Structure 1
Amino acid sequence: MLIAVFTIQHPVLGGALRAVPSAEASWEETYSSDDVLTQMLFWVTCEEASDFDAFEEAVGETSAVRNLVEFAEVDDRRLYRVDFTEEGRRTNLMSEFIGVGAVLQSATGTADGWRCRVRFPDREGYRRLFEVCEAHDIPFRFERIYEQTSVDADGGSTLTDPQRETLLAAVESGYLDIPRAVSLAELGERLGVSQRSASERFRRGVKKLIREHL
């Protein structure tokens, strides 16, 4: 088995995520109840409560989804469901995953696109997905591909790139040392973000690692 990590600029929620850069979406499930209805469940986190309102408004202006419904709010996250429009169904990659025997293990959407982690049975399946993205004019940025081992057989980490960057910087800069070598504000400066943003990235990254591995 192969694990491929890549980022795609997919039309589903892409415009809304770019409109509200603080929003981060985590794919939960995509399913079809009949030939014309495809729905997706996903979680969203935002830095400010008002950003959720801005995100919901931005989703209403996109062409790939409609009928946004909020199902739950837990801590700083909200669970939503959307229906795919014809454009969303046409570019839906789930059928392609199934067709090549692939499994979508995680997908995290930000203003930079959807970062996906997919398990493929072979490289031919990966090449097929890349060709489908090209055919639908979906920008595709490869990150890495590697053989799955027993260590990561359960799916591995789904940290976003900013979260991974923040956690690594925290270790390298001595933020986790006792006593701390740098303050949270200095960590933010190192990353080129505000103290609040650095704190949010660090907290969400740690929470995600704990949920996935403990």
Structure 2
Amino acid sequence: MGLLAAFDIHCDALPLVGVARAAPEATILLELQFNHGDRPLFMITVTGGSQTAVEAALTDAVDVEEWALIGEADSTRRYQAVPALSLAEQLGDYIDDLAGLEALATVDAAIERIEVNRDGWRQSGWFADRAAFTEFSTFWQRNAGFRLRRLTRDGASEPPGDGLSDRQREALRTAYEMGYFDIPRRTSLNAIAAELDISASSVSERLRRAHLQLIEETVATTWPPLPD
């Protein structure tokens, strides 16, 4: 059974990050048309923000050779852009493992959504199995920044944990990805705190509250009541 994942890739060199930084009020979605060789066309959907600021940023972007507005409706605009650089050229000064980057094209995955923000991409997509997801996530953990936001089984109902706050879920996923729950443990509360940019005591509290919520939603509800 496949996996549905949502995650952030933190890398300033990813395409159109400069555009997102120049137009922070706009929501920018990107589709890559890989049937155009090593420079896939950018199909860009922009909602909100200043049209003037977005188009000025596209004109000034070092990774855009030319662009055209191809449609608009209300506050949403659709652009097509020709990249000025291949992905290897764009990321070469930031990522040492270019061979690994090229290998990601063979991973059994389908990225459904790319939202460009001021420090990278927020993505979601399907992965054939855990091995495919691990290959993808490990590459970005080693070469840039990777933060998992959600991971569920294909076709699964809403997983336990819907009562978790975003901060609790983030703490759990970060601790899991960094190996806090491994045996033996591969990281510490201090390391997780540094990753989340909070104190170790705050990490500990979020994890304990998250554990309590999960217990109450799962095993606690199946236990017989304790005797009076």
TM-score, normalising length from structure 1?
0.58
Look up the match of 1:22.
Answer: 25
Q: What's the CA shift string for 1:40-95, capped at 9, x where partnerless?
A: 11210124xxx111112122333333212111111211111122233535559996
Cα RMSD after superposing both structures: 2.9
In structure 2, the residue matched to 1:6 is 7
Distance in 2 between residues matched to 1:134 and 1:85, nearest whole Å: 27
Number of residue pairs aligned between Structure 1 and Structure 2:
148
Residue 151 of structure 1: how far off its partner (Å)? 5.9
Q: Structure 1 95/75 Cα, relative in aligned 2: closer, same or farther at 3 Å?
A: farther
3-state DSSP class of the match of 2:155?
coil
The correspondence for 1:31, drawn from 31, 34, 57, is: 34
Q: CA deviation at 1:29?
A: 4.4
- Amino acid across the alignment from 1:132: F
User: CA distance change for structure 1 residues 95 and 42 in 2, over 3 Å: closer, same or farther?
Assistant: farther
Q: How does 1:166-205 map to 2 (within 5 A)?
A: none
Deviation at 1:133, TM superposition (A): 2.7
Alpha-carbon spacing, 1:83–1:151, altered in 2? closer, same or farther (3 Å) = farther
What's the secondary structure of 2:30's corresponding residue? strand
Which structure has the larger Rg over C-alpha atoms? 2
Q: Deviations over 1:174-208 (max 9, x none)?
A: xxxxxxxxxxxxxxxxxxxxxxxxxxxxxxxxxxx
TM-score by length of structure 2 reads 0.55
Opposite residue 9 of structure 2, the aligned amino acid is I
Q: Compared with structure 1, are the counterparts of its residues 88 and 63 closer, same or farther at alpha carbon in structure 2 (3 Å cutoff)? A: farther
Q: Secondary structure at the match of 2:62?
A: coil
Moved over 6 A (4+): 92-95
Q: Report the Cα distance in structure 2 between the residues aligned to 1:76 and 1:94, rounded to whole angstroms.
A: 35
The 3-state SS of whatever aligns with 2:149 is: strand
Tell whether the 8 Å contact from 2:32 to 2:40 is kept in structure 1 after alignment.
Answer: no
- Where 1:86 maps in the other structure, the secondary structure is coil
Counterpart of 2:136 in structure 1 is 129
Unaligned runs of 5+ in 2: 92-97, 159-165, 167-228
State yes or no: 1:41 paired with 2:47.
no
Distance 1:45 1:15, change over 3 A: same
Residue 107 (structure 2) aligned to one of 78, 81, 100: 100
Structure 1 alignment gaps of length 5 or more: 153-160, 162-214
Q: Contact 1:65–1:88 at 8 Å: present in 2 too? A: no
